[in-house]
Structure 1
Amino acid sequence: MKKILLYSTLALSVGLCSCSQEDLGENPAQAVGQPVTVSVQLPSEVGGDGLSRDVPEIPADHQLRCILYVSGGDAEPIRQEVVADEASDVITFSFTPPADTYTCSFWADYVKTDANSDGTYDDLYYNTTNLPNVTFADNADLFNNEACDAFTGHFAQDEITSGTPVTLSRPLAKVNFISEEAVGADATVDVTYTVSNGMNISTGAINTAEPQKSLTYNGAVANAADKVLFFNYLFADGENTKLPASISYTLGETSGTIPTNEIPLAANTPYNLSFSTASGEVVTSPAVGDYFFTDGTWSSSLDGNTEKTVAGVVFAVKGDGTSSAIESDETTNYSNAGEATDVLAWVIAAKDASTGANVKFYAGDASMSLPENMGEGKDDIKGYSNTALWVKASETDYEAASTAKAYNVEITGDTKTSGWYLPSIGQMLALGKVYAEKGENDTTTSLAVKKSFEALTAGGGDSAAAMASGNYWTSTGGTQEPEQAGAYRISFANTNYGNALRTGDDAKAGSNVRPILTIFK
């Protein structure tokens, strides 16, 4: 079965929804009784915060079904269903509004390719017979099944804008339960736990009045190689949806308890809950957009962490399914990784190491040259080793590398990190994909990491958290004709969004420095 990736960050916004009403003048909402055309699509950036550029693939033996639900006043609601050939298709509905004032809601899920249809397709994983309420279907295959992914969206009549498709968002969290110990290829797991059952697609609210759903599974582990015992897609809103206090399971002949401690679940977010089948301790992996504190802990929220100091924001997590550049990072790229088993995450500092755009990359008198084994090109992710090479070559001449390495925000606690260093261009490009998206007219849209920085600066907070409007040095080197050495720099500013290799005198121009660090497993 083809894999559908779930991408996440914290505080993911619900996809903006809109529809078009054709040939009705400048104020289509005022035209009553005229046909309306609505177009809908899955997000081109799954997660809505730029964590992936890929639209999910339709699983084998399934088809993507999209339901339109139109309601208004006392009129009978309208329900229409369409299936898509490809997940990237724009699906179109046409209807005559049932009332002068109405709302449109959507639900998209996967049904079997041979599902019967008499205008409505047979439900498979979700029960849609009582729209706008959607619940888990009875006797559905809800464990270890990527086809349980689903999307929704809702908009009011006055949100209609001409020609723009409705972009749906995922109302589900994906929760992976991962063993810290090795799992046998033929291992089986037996587990039962209860979860929130359903939502109202017209309000986005979890149906708290619904009885909870008991999920039961007894079968092969989901992925023995990756030590994933089982996973589920669960309804989530970040407030009312929580895992149970604990989950009992049996792995082979051994029984145990996962202390899930009522972890709250947010929509459109992956949770990799790693726990020891020996001790039972649960460790929640960080997510893109999470705050990383100086005590070595992380959290998706500043609430409840007011006594802690924010060291930075997570911008890449290895193994979270986002196809980030961090996937190719290894502990062998770090001289201080020690007994760490793998790379876990990259963190961008909450402040610049520089006091302004006044740091030269190279301040020496002689011509700049590249140290041996220096990372080059835009795929370079070896910021840590690059920084060490520059500093070893000359701590005084290579100002940008030295400034990043000297950043004096100490990380305490048991979390193993690399310490601060000057990021490579590949790492900064990975940051750009989750920081902001370049739009029209030299504007950018805030994505997960920038939103976290904005929350730090909101209400008179620390204004230093915001990325500067100028350029930032990276540790990646390069050469240009006539054999001039230099380094890349990058900007996330609205009017100067991009990157370039700067050589010769340009490498002596003043720019900003924002260090990063790596968290190890």
Structure 2
Amino acid sequence: MWILLFTACSQEEVKQSPSESNRIRISATLPQDAATRTALPFEDGHQLRCILEVWSQDKTPALVYRSEQLGYGADGQELLIFETELESASYDCLIWADYVEANAPTEEISVNDKVKYIHYADKYYDTKDLKKIAVKDPSLLFYNNACDAFCGKTTFFKEAEFASNVTATLQRPFCKVVFMEKDEANFSIGKSMNITLKMPTEYNVSTEKPLNQTEVNHSREFATDEPDTNTERIVSTAYIFASAGEELALETISMNFVNRNNQQYTQQIPAGIPVVRNKRILARGYLMGKKIFGPEDAQIEVTVSDSWNTPDQNNEANGNVVKRPHVGDYLYKDGSYSKDYIADTDNPVIGVIFKVGMGKGDKTEDYGEIFRDKEIQGYALALFDTDGVAGGGVRLQSTDKKSILPLEEVSRLTVDEDGTGYTGYSNTQALLKSHSEEGSEGKGQYGALTQFTNNKYVLEAPEGSSGWYCPCAGQMRDLQHHYYNPETKTDGIVKKALQNLIDEGVEKVTLMNTLYNGSEWEYHTVSFLSTGHEWHVNFSDSKYGIVEDPAKDTAKGNPYIKRWMRPILTF
């Protein structure tokens, strides 16, 4: 059920002397959530302008009075008061309030011999006719709180021999649709976006109806510090004229995103997002990546909010901005991270963050006590392979056992039939346990993993992290998403971060390897089919991605075959 708020007004008559009997006093009040200047979406360089029009109620209505004023009343809630003289009759009162430039130029406009007024230059709306408010540039209604506006309509009867006081509470003539990204990783590398939708570009204050449905396009660039300052992950907002007493809906919306890996995504948001006057519509979804509109993610979550200014669920407490990790950040020995590389011999860089937030299917309980009382912030890639140099590689399993991992060993693991699992840590630990267990089929077989015990790996992991381990297929998929784009042949943010460390002269840092002695090699994972075949990952340009169907070829999926291994950790 939609609760629609209608303009409230009151009229008082006070008997006056004949010289004052024609005087009327009209005042407008802002809605309660906009009762102070700090609550209003106010921007530097703007000031609030209020317009009053009074129309006769004849068969052919005529404009009998118009005035424009700037600013607020003394209490910050009541707008400036209009006073004029009117003959005894019935009238329609139309009010509009919007933002103009702080030093807006003025001009005197004469409608007729009786109606003359000073007009302040419009910025966002053409207001010379309140029965046909027209948007000057529709693209300015996106991601711009200075285009906020208020309006109201009321009728009154001017009694003879009485002075009248009329008050009206204004409302917004539109809703504000807020598009929000669910995935923190995709948002953290956003570069630019474009949105195309159909929306009305005119509004009649008298009928309280929007007019002139028009296709509108808007583009914007994401600020470099936006992942820190835009904690709600708002990709765009749109002020859309709405009809009083009637719920409308948007048609299909097209969005196009480009990220800092130069990858491009086009999303079609289905028709049906509601447009309700004086409401804020929060539309959340996987907008900036591949997850949206597949079988599992076809729905956009829509919330209709009565409050215009209350922070949404992702805002930090008390409005404080909390520094969070982002894909491409550098991770240091003490667990801190930074966007730009900081050289410090006492606190050296140890990795590059490739995923933020908990991975799909990962579980804090799989890490024992490590993440019992804290959240998983993300995952980081080590600066080099396990041997520390380009070349060589390792065997995940020391002995060739019919080209597979023995089924007894498979039973210890979380199997991964589609190569999307997020079980690198738990499977690494399970294989290490088998390696040291007397009588186990895997006794002494997984020496390549033993360097991840007791923080033996040459790169010291931060206290409170998982420590280093061999990644699984799902983690490698996320890494590849931010490492390289084989379609456009452009480097992603993680690869660029590693290359920057190489350029800075940080020792031993290597990119992900592709060739060994002229042959294409893959990387190990600890993800296995139930048949015992290992999922491998290729970083070469021609075969970039997870090696599909590892059970079809004895050379594919065999954990005994020597391949590279690049550790990761969870923090």
Could you tell me the TM-score, scaled by structure 2's length?
0.42
Bigger Rg, which one: 2
Q: Highest relative contact order (Cα 8 Å, sep 6+), 1 or 2?
A: 1
Could you tell me the TM-score, scaled by structure 1's length?
0.46
